[in-house]
Amino acid sequence: MTESAKPDVSGLSFEKAVAELESIVARLERGDVALDESIEIYERGEALKKHCETLLSAAENRIEKIRLDRAGKPQGVEPLDSA
């Protein structure tokens, strides 16, 4: 695949990218797709997977946990532990 022919998935929301990725997986699993088309949709699937991973990583970085004081009242926020 040439550089200019790489699938552009950057404008897709996470939900749309996952739905399309699921559709691609189902088509490939059925095995009723011609070889050339299989290669094309597999490459699009790879691009969708990377896009979803990027969006998930960005969302994880934005999640914070609420810090409570001794009385149980919100005191502020801190990064969510990755453990």
| CA atoms of 67 and 76, how far apart (whole Å) | 5
Q: Give bridge partners of residue 65 from the DSSP assignment.
A: 78
Residue 1 lies in a domain: no
Over residues 13-61, the pLDDT tens digits come to 999 999 999 999 999 999 999 999 999 999 999 999 999 999 998 888 7
Q: How many domains does the chain have?
A: 1
Residue among 62, 63, 54, 57 nearest 11 (CA): 54
74 domain residue, yes or no: no
**What is the model's pLDDT at position 81?**
66
Q: Is residue 47 part of a domain?
A: yes
Which range marks the domain in which residue 41 is found?
Answer: 11-62
